[in-house]
Amino acid sequence: MNPIIIVHGGAGDIPTSRVKGKLDGSKKAAIAGHEILAKGGSALDAVEAAVVSMEKDEYFNAGYGSVLNLRGEVEMEASIMCGKNLDVGAVTLVKDFLHPISIAHKVLTDSPHSLLGGEGAKIFALDKGFNTVYPGSLISPHAKKALDDFLKHGEFGRTEIGALNKADVGTVGAVAIDINGQIAVATSTGGMSGKAVGRIGDTPQIGSGTYADNLIGGVSTTGHGESILKYCVAHNIVKLMENGLDANTATKKAIDDMTSRLNNTAGAITLSKNGDIGIHYTSQRMSWAYIKDKKIYYGINHGEVFEEQHEL
């Protein structure tokens, strides 16, 4: 099987000034993951590498650059899933670690549990040798400004489409299939600007933010977390594919249905076990990139697909 990786850099009302940074960062992340796949590496390692690349990049709402809660703090969440045996690892309410996705991957491989939160996630991470970063060092100037804007203009609880996307949300995610046909998915986020302290969204919840099953495919989602988790969007898309829809039709149906039922926006990237791609979002923009058959494809606006040759 030819390996394939697809990434997203978050759905939302992305200002034009952030478009280039998100596109460049999404391409870089897809390349980082694809390098691992091309050497025969696993889909799990590839999706982790792609997400790590975006967690380091201030253009994304994950790791450094995560948006801030009402107390002005970073509280991050991440999940990862292996489609072979449905193993999962997830963390939530994580502070002061640059790469929550790597901790989630360790939960998958080294913990009897699926989801660790807050103090417990920190104890686990320290025990596994992850280093904390200096308190406050994950806060970017852009995230500070987004919280200030939210405090001035934000109205949590409004449900008009796009209302909660003004604060430049933008989770990151990756879905890959390796040369052995193994599928893995990873998703990581800082959540939403101005969220309550202790708020947990869709990203660490398996079936909402992330789902992978070698027998069907894999999905990573982004957008309004409270809506995505009510609709179990990632699992919903996988089930639609199991019932015969192709990756793109299933992705479009689940995201459109969620938006019309709950009046909030979301996006998702999907890869079927046959290597078919699904990309759909109801927000104004969502950056995405994928590498398939020596080509890299990418875009951020509706109907837009750029294509370049990608040789290793």
**Contact positions vs ligand ASP (CB under 6 A):** 10, 12, 61, 169-171, 189, 191-192, 201-203, 222-223, 225, 228
Which residue number places its CB atom closest to ligand ASP?
225
CA–CA dist 121, 235 (Å, integer): 25
Measured from the CB atom, is 65 or 191 closer to ligand ASP? 191
Q: How far is the CB of 202 from ligand ASP (least distance, A)?
A: 5
Q: Give min distance, CB of 43 to ligand ASP, in A.
A: 22
Which residue, 33 or 173, has its beta carbon nearer to ligand ASP?
A: 173
Q: Which is nearer to ligand ASP, 56 or 230 (CB)?
A: 230
Which residue in 171, 203, 221, 259 is the catalytic one? 171
Catalytic annotation on 187?
Answer: no
Which residue number, 214 or 227, has a Cβ lying nearer to ligand ASP? 227
Closest CA to 110 of 121, 118, 99, 119: 121
Shortest reach from residue 285's CB to ligand ASP, in Å: 12
**Least spacing, CB of residue 11 vs ligand ASP, in Å:** 6
Annotated catalytic residues are 171
